[in-house]
Amino acid sequence: MLEFHWQELFFLLGAGFVGSFVDAAVGGGGLITLPAFMATSVPTPYALGSNKFAASIGAVTSFFTFARSGKVDPKILKLMPLSFLGSGAGACIAYLLPEQLLRIIVVLALVGTACYTYRRKNWDGMGRVDAMTRSMAFGMAAMAWFLGMYDGFFGPGTGSFLIFGFLYFGYDFVTAAGNTKALNLASNIGGLIAFLLLGRVYLAYALPMGMVEIIGARLGAKFAIKKGWDTSAPCT
């Protein structure tokens, strides 16, 4: 039986605001929110599912903020089903693993992802994508599927990995961030549906945290769009 603690909720609300702001601006907010969940009394499977619930609410806000500003390439929307299905598959894999093994994997993945995003200092995009070649389309489709699966299984760092990927394919930073929000939205929803069906979401924490993430995600997305972001700066 899961226990409710007010101090844990307030701690998660603060982590949710900061994490959603960071995630909307540069990606990687899950490196804040998931460790926060794991620092509470919530078991690891419920931490993953509850974090996915809150992140999904923030992802909706981020996506529509970028989309209304015209910072999402319409061609990327075709890749959203791949992220959705991949995430659902990843969540099912997480469900099938024993909790102790899952916790070890999650902790190791958190450390590895944090090190990677800290060391990845500069991936400059060309600033334009004139045409979608076959190799680009295949590469982005593979990225959508595998990072969608990663997001459903684990989550933190997905936004940063997607931004790096879109920068590699030639997008400027803000459009890369907008494209990331589209795929992130799909993978968050895919994973969330799987976790809900599997009964691995603790709504007493996830729902209020998600409400706070709406505010953080909106402010973070507006900040990134307004600043245009300096691609020579570190992406963490």
Phi first, then psi: what are they for 70, rounded to 5°?
A: 70, 25
Retrieve residue 152's tokens. 């459903």
Mean pLDDT calculated for residue range 86-98: 93
Is the confidence at residue 138, as pLDDT, over 60? yes
Is the confidence at residue 232, as pLDDT, over 60? no
Q: d(Cα 179, Cα 182) in Å, to the nearest integer?
A: 5
pLDDT band for 8, please (50, 70, 90 cuts). very high
pLDDT band for 130, please (50, 70, 90 cuts). low
Q: d(Cα 208, Cα 192) in Å, to the nearest integer?
A: 16
Provide, rounded to the nearest whole percent, the portion of the chain with pLDDT above 70.
90
Q: d(Cα 94, Cα 45) in Å, to the nearest integer?
A: 8
Helix-then-strand count for the chain, H and E: 9, 0
* Region label for 72, one of left (φ > 0), alpha (ψ between -120 and 50) or beta (otherwise): beta
User: Cβ distance 149 to 86 under 8 Å?
Assistant: yes
